[in-house]
Chain A
Amino acid sequence: MTTPAIEDLLRELAPQVLGALIRRNGQFEGCEDAVQEAVLAATVQWPVEGVPNNPRGWLVTVASRRLIDQMRSDHARRVRESATATEVVSEDVPDTDDTLVLLFLCCHPTLTAASQTALTLRAVGGLTTAEIAHAFLVPEATMAARISRAKQRIKAAGSSFSLPDGAEREERLRVVLHVLYLIFNEGYTASSGSELHRADLAHEAIRLARMVHAQLPEDGEVTGLLALMLLTDARRETRTTAAGDLVPLDEQDRTKWDRGLIDEGIELIKASLAGSALGPYQLQAAIAATHADAARAEETDWAQVHALYLILERIAPNPMVTLNRAIALAETEGPQTGLTLLSTLDGDERMAGHHRLLSVRAHLLEKTGDTAGAYEHYRRAAKATASIAEQRYLESRASRVRT
């Protein structure tokens, strides 16, 4: 077996092994360290010695041995205990997949979003601390401190290792989806750093969303989030030029969109819209699907996009949604109508000086023929953004309207 295949296998097995260990021993922190060590041992041994017949059992055995090593400092006892652990485990590797429970634990509400993200990637994604640190462009020591803090918090919160019920389960699932969404965005929004590693994050988010979807296929929002990720990721290749400059949606080469991902995403969102109560992820996926349906930008069904934003605005009001609706409205009713809707956002302190509001206004002013106003707003938007790619794009727009 080649090394990438082993990596994929380990990534899939790591959360199952961790789940099995926690179920038997409790103590998330110790189990997590033990599984990381077992995974490391596997990445060293398997490529040389071959993958064992029961890779999951192998990992559980090695991780249990490490865990017991940690628990028993007495050397003589350690040997006896690890021998016992080997016996117990090889015959009895529980068949339940605890990955979802583990995901709920990592997305514990007492953690900050940054910690939830890091812990999820490590415990459920099977990424090493170094890989996560690299992906988020922080030193390994910083990420290690964050992960260890997160583990202590979970311990202090005294969470039991089981899926919560009813309303709490629903609430926690929303957090899980939000964390996966954040991981995806981190990978998708290429701002700086190694693009390759960022793409890995987006793929990891998709893999985890697929996993949650496989376990909760009836949940409309889980389906919606997966569809949204697939439909968004399908455009990856066309979003930037070779030089790294941004390409807006209407100028992207649609023949290069990943048809396989789009078809899968559309299929998922269709099924979920038909079957369950609407949520924000489903609506965003439906909007992405509407864009994907148009072979050319001019063929976009803007009336449908606008209608979807209108529903989204009603169930999850947010100035960013209103902003997006203004773009759709401008396409159906003209730029002036769009600008009028935008002016309702001026009093919102979350939006004051926000580069998205400035750039959308610039864009609509340009369409009305007000080039001076457009120039002014493009320039202000370029100053307000924290993304170099976006800044370059906005500055090129500014110089275009000036001449």
Chain B
Amino acid sequence: MKFLISMLINPAVLDALTDEEKAAIGDGHGKFIEALKKSGELIITQALVDPSQAVVVSVRNGQPVVTDGPFLESKEYLGGFYLIDCENKERAIELAAQIPDTAIEGLGIEVRQVMFADGQLEA
């Protein structure tokens, strides 16, 4: 079963962390990735740039309109994700719980099963 583990971040919460705490998160992700590769459960992981670098594209009257940043009113953004292939939902939750972000108030980890997949697998 494939699951997408999304890391929902609140930039204000991230900014408030100390350098040690930030480093610990980085280390935690590194170890998590190693463990997932060894167990054969990792398909891919990608981290996204800071939401301040994002733009929203919409098309009005056939003309693309680009505005700064995503939805300004929202506090949480997608910081990155893990796409995994594991035994069942319980295992996906067990894995997600190992992500260091889960220990920090204000950072969210969401687990959802993949329903349809297409594209190049050898990413």
| A contact residues vs B (CB 8 Å cutoff) | 112-115, 133-134, 136-147, 149, 192-193, 386-388, 391
Contacts and interface: CB of A to CB of B under 8 A. Distances in A.
A140 B42 CA distance: 11
26 contacts: A113-B87, A114-B40, A114-B87, A115-B40, A134-B121, A136-B85, A137-B2, A137-B117, A137-B121, A138-B43, A138-B85, A138-B121, A140-B121, A142-B40, A142-B41, A142-B43, A145-B37, A145-B38, A145-B40, A149-B39, A192-B115, A193-B117, A386-B1, A386-B113, A387-B115, A388-B116
A107 to B, nearest CB: 15
A143 B117 contact: no
Given A142-B43, A145-B42, A193-B117, 13 more contacts: A113-B87, A114-B40, A114-B86, A115-B40, A137-B2, A137-B121, A139-B122, A140-B122, A141-B122, A145-B37, A145-B40, A192-B115, A192-B118
Given A113-B87, A114-B86, A192 B117 contact: yes
Nearest to B86: A114
Interface of B: 1-2, 37-44, 85-87, 113-118, 121-123
Given A114-B86, A136-B85, A146 B40 contact: yes
A141 B113 CA distance: 21
Contacts of A149: 38-40
Contacts of A391: 115
B40 A147 contact: yes
| 5 closest Cβ pairs, A-B complex | A146-B40, A145-B40, A139-B121, A138-B85, A192-B116
Nearest to B89: A386
A112 B87 CA distance: 8
A193 B117 CA distance: 7
B40 A143 contact: yes
Contacts of A134: 121
A146 B39 contact: yes
A192 B121 CA distance: 14
A141 B37 CA distance: 9
**A139, A193, A391, most chain B CB atoms within 10 A:** A139
A89 B44 CA distance: 44
A147 B38 CA distance: 10
B121 A145 contact: no
Contacts of A143: 40
A304 to B, nearest CB: 33
A153 B116 CA distance: 32
**B43, B85, B117, most chain A CB atoms within 10 A:** B85
A139 B43 contact: yes
A149 B43 CA distance: 16
A144 B118 CA distance: 20
Nearest to A118: B40
A30 to B, nearest CB: 20
Nearest to B91: A112
Contacts of B87: 112-114
A386 B39 contact: no
A386 B115 contact: yes
A141 B114 CA distance: 19
**B39, B87, B115, B121, most chain A CB atoms within 10 A:** B121
Contacts of B39: 145-146, 149
A139 B2 contact: no
B35 to A, nearest CB: 11
A149 B123 CA distance: 21
Contacts of B1: 386
Nearest to B123: A139
A141 to B, nearest CB: 8
B45 to A, nearest CB: 12
B115 A142 contact: no
Given A115-B40, A149-B39, A142 B116 contact: no
A221 to B, nearest CB: 24
A128 B40 CA distance: 16
B113 to A, nearest CB: 5
A143 B86 CA distance: 11
Contacts of B38: 145, 149
Contacts of B122: 139-141
Nearest to A146: B40
Contacts of A144: 40
Contacts of A147: 40
A390 to B, nearest CB: 10
A144 B39 CA distance: 10
Contacts of A145: 37-40, 42
Contacts of B118: 192
A145 B44 CA distance: 13
A186 B115 CA distance: 15
Nearest to B40: A146
B3 to A, nearest CB: 10
A193 B41 CA distance: 19
